[in-house]
Structure 1
Amino acid sequence: MINGFKEFVLRGNVIDLAVAVVIGAAFTTIVNAIVTGIFNPLLGVIFDASSLDALTWTIRPGENGDDPTVLAYGAVISALIQFVIIAFILYFAFVLPINHLKNAAFAKKAADASTTDAKAPTELELLADIRDLLAKNSAS
């Protein structure tokens, strides 16, 4: 049972996944800092707020000391901006180059296979060579 777990953990996919999670967490921190520090204040200026996260809509005001019911649509817009930035960077930094490399490797493999097939003699040619060798050996 322990050996099976050891094989599972030492398999390349698990280690690659662990590295990807750590890099993804660091990348998310960077994107969050950019969105919070740059995009939110700029969009807040456009929408006349201190920050994008400050954009809210009060659905029900607080009564008798209750907290008001607030819809924080600025936070949703901020999360959407973060998602779009992360998706954009991941696509152009990782997915597109990897797909390009896969397609190039597939094209090379297909080209190698076609040249190998073109060089391989047919069954009829092999039989003719065998016949010629047998005829040569019997004549000697």
Structure 2
Amino acid sequence: MIKGFKDFIMRGNVIDLAVAVVIGAAFGAVVTAIVDSLITPLIGLFYVPNDDGESGPTLIGIYGQKVTFPLSGLITAIISFLAIALVVYLVFVMPMNKWKERQAARAGVVEEPEAKLPTEAELLVQIRDLLEQQGSAPAPATRRSVEPPSPSI
């Protein structure tokens, strides 16, 4: 039972997932604070915040109301996601993959690239060539005009 649990935990995808969740949650607050203190004020340089404090382009709607597209929230979310994903990849996923490669090399397991399968056209050419070699290649089919039978009344 303990060996099975150890094998389950040492599987790469379980460790990657656990690390991503923990580090993503912890690092998310840091990235959000950086983006809120740097990116949001930069957006505020170009757009005046509306009454709700949202910065972004403001357009007049068809009924005369002002509509603000809050870009700061969207940009904050995108930058936060990319920063967290980059850190998780560089700090955890990449080293884990290298560790797995070393373990496989120690065990003597070498991953071979998958053989490229032939296309349909290549297979048909091979079949034609084999039939010609055997001398039993069928003669090219000639088109005969086939007229439908005339209806008998």
Normalising by structure 1, we get a TM-score of 0.50
Structure with the largest fraction of helix: 1
